[in-house]
Chains A and B, each alone.
Chain A
Amino acid sequence: MEKLTLKVTRTGGKKVSYELKYRKGMTVLDALTEVRERQDSTLGYRHSCRMGICGSCGMTIEGLPKLACQTQVSSLKTDTVSIEPLHNMSVVKDLVVDIMPFLDHHRSVRPFLMRRDIGERDHSDREYRVLAEEVAKFLQFDYCIMCGLCYAACPTAALDPLYTGPQAITQAYRYLADPRDEGWDQRVDLLDTSQGVWRCHMAGACSFVCPKDVDPAKAIQMARMEILKKRLLRKKGRTGSRLVPPAPQVVATEGTKPPPFDFSQASPESK
């Protein structure tokens, strides 16, 4: 491939073609940057890290939601690449979409550790340890970079903007599975709605496009299991957690250093 043509859908739906020289190793983001720097400075797109970490450069490339920085032009097997803004989100300019509704869904599931003791939350001076097997239950879902590709690929979100969405439900499940979290009941209630987990129809497109293998489809089905446990088995809160208790609070007085905490005292194996 010598020449590359980018067919970019710009604001208003107009498709504009840009021709440029192909370089080996060129990503779609490289190509867009070259277009903006040398041909059309008005072209709008969002990017930041260029290495698949920030999740800013999500766009629809050849019909599929992808990160532009991680998509090699050579992998698309075509010399005419179609680029559109992400679906299921309104366009701000050209390839830049409004991610606020997506972030609102994320916020709605309270994606943070909830503790019953508010004082402890606001003035935390203790460290919580988590066992490796407990971490394994939620670590995969913790890798989410909030790029919005799963939301753009979801056929349910396409029809129902009120649907919580795969990303938000995955984050909710990440905390449902975290033994340090004490908001199990509250979070299960947040998800157990007609626009929550029950709206998913298991198309699996979210997991298919996820650039970090967070696997939202799996998290959604696991969140359903938690809800069924609460509703059918009358489970009240998280039971059987092997959470290692926090270190006893040590009040340091001025001029003294708190003694180092002996972790062996706090492990469940020592009890």
Chain B
Amino acid sequence: MTEARRFRSGLLSSLNPLGFNVERWSYTLHRATGVIIVGYLMAHIFETLQLSSGPAAWANTMAALHSLGPLEMVGLWIVAGSALYHGANGIRLILNEMFGKLMGKPILPVYPYSPTSLGRNQRIAVWTITAVVLTLWVWAGFYLLAGLGVV
């Protein structure tokens, strides 16, 4: 298998959480939201960089952004959701990876198996994060769409 083919099949397999545990879905969402945040950061740097070309260039950039209409706010809403999820899930990952929290202790496996690292505590953390992020995201949606006069 060539390197390119291996990478392509690896990327597809890496992004596909179907059938797996909730933490694996969380992993995929964390990656996706990370990419969105980096994309936004690049666009934001480009946007503010226009200031160095003078007020006219800045006004043109802002006009181009506003010409997107509701899409601008929808885009910001997606970025807000991404930042919320990435940040909240990041705290869970720091607890997991840097402090070994929510993982449980080594046990003697007894059938039917149930890994403690994906146990009750971990699931509660994942679903709590999802609930909090969804609530804040809906609130952010109202806030942003209110600016458009939609709500």
Q: A residues engaging B (CB < 8 A)?
A: 62-64, 87-88, 90, 136-141, 143, 153, 155-156, 158-159, 161, 177, 200-205, 207-208, 210-215, 217-218, 221-222, 224-225, 228
Which residues of B lie under 8 Å from residue A215 when comparing CB positions?
106, 115-117
State the CA gap A156–B14 with chains docked (Å). 7
Known: A64-B20, A159-B11, A210-B115. 5 other contacts (CB 8 A): A90-B1, A155-B24, A158-B9, A204-B122, A205-B23
A224 engages B115 (CB within 8 Å): no
Q: How long is the Cα–Cα vector from A212 to B114 in the complex, in angstroms?
A: 10
Across the interface, B115 reaches (CB within 8 A) one of A63, A64, A207, namely A207
Given A161-B6, A224-B100, A204-B109 contact (CB < 8 Å): no
- Chain A residues, CB < 8 A from B117: 204, 207, 215, 217-218, 221
Shortest C-beta distance, B13 to chain A (Å), equals: 5
A161 to B3, CA, bound (A): 10
Q: Is the CB of B109 within 8 A of A213?
A: yes
Q: Interface of chain B, helix or strand or loop or mixed?
A: helix
Chain A residue nearest to B12 in the complex (CB) = A158
A208, B1: Cβ atoms closer than 8 Å: no
In the complex, the chain B residue whose C-beta lies closest to that of A205 is: B24
B13, A217: Cβ atoms closer than 8 Å: no
The verdict on B72 contacting chain A, using a C-beta distance below 8 Å, is: no
How far apart are the CA atoms of A240 and B71 in the complex, in Å? 61
CA A138 – CA B105 in complex, angstroms? Answer: 10
Q: A202, B27: Cβ atoms under 8 Å?
A: yes
Q: Which residue of B lies closest to A225 (CB)?
A: B100
Name the distance in Å between A21's Cβ and chain B's nearest Cβ: 27
Question: Are A155 and B14 closer than 8 Å at their CB atoms?
Answer: yes
Q: Is B96's CB under 8 angstroms from A143's CB?
A: no
B14 adjacent to A158 (CB under 8 Å): yes
Number of A-B contacts (CB under 8 A): 118
Report the Cα distance A190→B97, complex, angstroms.
Answer: 18
* Minimum CB distance partner of B26 in chain A: A203
- Give residues of chain B (25-70) contacting chain A, Cβ–Cβ below 8 Å: 26-28, 30
Q: Give a binary string over B102-142; 1 marks a CB under 8 Å from any A CB, 0 the rest.
A: 01101111000111111000100000000000000000000
| A residues less than 8 Å from B20 (CB atoms) | 64, 153, 203, 205, 208
B86 → chain A closest CB, angstroms: 13
- Tell me the bound Cα distance from A208 to B123 in angstroms: 13
Question: Can you identify 21 A-B contacts, CB atoms within 8 angstroms?
Answer: A63-B16, A63-B18, A63-B19, A87-B9, A136-B106, A139-B108, A155-B24, A155-B28, A156-B14, A158-B9, A159-B11, A203-B23, A205-B20, A208-B20, A208-B24, A210-B113, A217-B118, A218-B117, A221-B96, A221-B103, A228-B98
Chain B: residues with Cβ within 8 Å of the partner, total of 39
Most buried by A among B6, B9, B23, B97: B97
Chain B residues contacting A200 (CB-CB under 8 Å) are 97
Q: How far apart are the CA atoms of A211 and B114 in the complex, in Å?
A: 10
Does B76 lie at the interface of the complex (its beta carbon under 8 Å from any beta carbon of A)? no
A161 to B20: give the CA distance in the assembly, Å. Answer: 21
Bound-state CA distance A159–B10 (Å) is: 5
Q: A158 touching B13 by the CB < 8 A rule?
A: yes
Contact (A222, B1) CB under 8 Å given A202-B97, A205-B24:
no
What residues on B are CB-neighbors of A225 within 8 Å?
Answer: 99-100
Q: For B113, give its contact among A88, A141, A213 (CB under 8 Å).
A: A213
Q: Which 7 A-B pairs have the closest CB atoms?
A: A213-B113, A203-B27, A213-B109, A204-B23, A207-B115, A155-B14, A158-B10
Q: Is B98 in contact with A212, judged by CB distance below 8 angstroms? A: no
Residues of A within 8 A of B97 (CB): 200, 202, 221, 224
For B98, list chain A residues within 8 Å (CB).
224, 228
User: Could you tell me the distance in whole angstroms from the C-beta of A80 to the nearest C-beta in chain B?
Assistant: 16
Q: Considering the chains assembled together, what is the distance between the CA atoms of A214 and B114 in angstroms?
A: 10
Contacts of B113 in A (CB 8 A): 210-213
